[in-house]
Structure 1
Amino acid sequence: MLQPGSATAMAGAKNDTDEVCLSPKMVQLKSDMQKLWINHTIWTRSYIVSAMSSRADQQDVLNRLLQNQQDIGNAFKPYYGEAAGNKLAELLKQHILIAGQIVAAAKAGNQADVKKWDTEWHQNADQISKFLSELNPNWPFQTIQEMFYTHLQLITEIVINCLKGNWQADIAATDKNETHMIHLADLLTEGIVKQFPEKF
């Protein structure tokens, strides 16, 4: 049995502390990444509402949402370089622009176009997942793909519920999407920290 003051007990306590101790740089990355993906959720939902309501701010909201995709790409540049950050941003902008086509088709009641754009949407999610998995071995393709497919499903639920005027279900899906994207942000943060421990 370990005595409280023994060397072994002290070493064990130190190990326990090390496991939960986060450096300031790790905390900052975690916070920044969460904010970026929460903004992704907020501005996506804002765009859906604006487009469905034919609000005058639709283009301005879209511009803000597209800026968010560039911001996410920029957050990757310190680790993966300018080209990779811009490539991720472009893939994410495609994700948004395709979503815009789905919203427009759904609003018009054109189910054939909804289906066509949804197929492209999932193909884009595959491209994002492949790109990320090739950047970092801690982001397996299937794991990232499942995260993005769930994200697409939740956005689809928001669109459908906005069309139906089922606001409680819309809000519930938005809350789920935000929580889900925080999980994605944390997964990305953990992968970066594991791949570049010397930066933290």
Structure 2
Amino acid sequence: MGEEKNSACLSSKMVQLKGDMQKVCTRSYIVSAISNRQDQKDVLDRLLRNQQDIGNVIEPYYGEAAGNKLAGLLREHILIAGKIVAAAKAGNQADVKKLDADWHKNADDIARFLSAANPNWQFKALQDMLYTHLQLITELVLDCIKGDWKAYIAVIDKNEIHMIHLADILTEGTVKQFPEKF
């Protein structure tokens, strides 16, 4: 018997896509960078590899060029975040402000790219989700710099829930656009 598909039942392919979409983590890099840990470069390399992994997740649906384009936009997101961490740690507010503007432009580029690829992904909804993510990561960095670990942990929890929600939106939109693949 084939897999039944209805709103209350997820196929194994849907479950796999949801899991793949949820694999995102910048927390380890922030801690390494702020603490000047020796694993900083290795953690950043792994985090950047995650961005290609995410691009690879959409490749079966949108093609190799789209997967690589998304991976590039996500790598830019991580690299800007790394620069923001360094500037914030150094107390260089002018650079933080400029980099934050670059980060929001990158978020706009990601939202624009995704909304153009799938009519189920609305630009404004994605932009709002990404801007919230940027705000949460900013709070995470500032709490880590201040050593406010209770606030830091609370923001980790908020961001994890937020990113799972974003992954769910992307998964649901993909399933709606390509129901024959699920």
CA distance in 1, matches of 2:174, 2:65: 17
**Contact conserved, 2:20 with 2:54, CA < 8 A, in 1?**
no
Cα RMSD over matched residues? 1.0
Tell me, which stretches of 5 or more residues in structure 1 are unaligned? 1-16
Partner SS state of residue 6, structure 2: helix
Instruction: Pick one of 90, 101, 106 that aligns with 1:108.
Output: 90
Structure 2 equivalent of residue 77 of structure 1: 59
Q: Are residue 26 (structure 1) and residue 14 (structure 2) matched?
A: yes
CA distance in 2, matches of 1:145, 1:25: 27
Pick the structure with greater CA Rg.
1
Instruction: Pick one of 122, 133, 139 that aligns with 1:140.
Output: 122
Is the alpha carbon distance of 1:105 and 1:18 closer, same or farther for their aligned partners in structure 2, counting shifts above 3 Å?
A: closer
CA distance in 1, matches of 2:76, 2:10: 35
Q: Match of 1:160, as an amino acid? A: L
Partner SS state of residue 74, structure 2: helix
Structure 2 equivalent of residue 10 of structure 1: none
Q: Match of 1:101, as an amino acid? A: K
CA distance in 1, matches of 2:108, 2:35: 31
1:20 to partner: Cα distance: 1.2
Structure 1 equivalent of residue 167 of structure 2: 185
Q: Match of 1:22, as an amino acid? A: L
> How many positions carry a matched residue from both structures?
178
Q: Match of 2:175, as an amino acid? A: V
Is the alpha carbon distance of 1:18 and 1:97 closer, same or farther for their aligned partners in structure 2, counting shifts above 3 Å?
A: closer
1:25 to partner: Cα distance: 1.5
CA distance in 1, matches of 2:36, 2:77: 21
1:31 to partner: Cα distance: 2.3
Partner SS state of residue 138, structure 1: coil
1:134 to partner: Cα distance: 0.2
Instruction: Pick one of 40, 43, 46 that aligns with 1:64.
Output: 46
Q: How does 1:1-200 map to 2 (within 5 A)?
A: 18-34=6-22, 36=23, 40-41=24-25, 44-200=26-182
Runs of 4+, deviation exceeding 3 Å: none
1:29 to partner: Cα distance: 1.5
**Contact conserved, 2:51 with 2:74, CA < 8 A, in 1?**
yes
Partner SS state of residue 10, structure 2: coil
* Cα displacement string for residues 157-178 of structure 1 (whole angstroms, at most 9, x for unaligned residues): 0011011110110111011100
1:28 to partner: Cα distance: 2.0
Tell me, which stretches of 5 or more residues in structure 2 are unaligned? none
Q: Match of 1:32, as an amino acid? A: D
1:22 to partner: Cα distance: 2.1
TM-score, scaled relative to structure 1: 0.87
Is the alpha carbon distance of 1:129 and 1:18 closer, same or farther for their aligned partners in structure 2, counting shifts above 3 Å?
A: closer
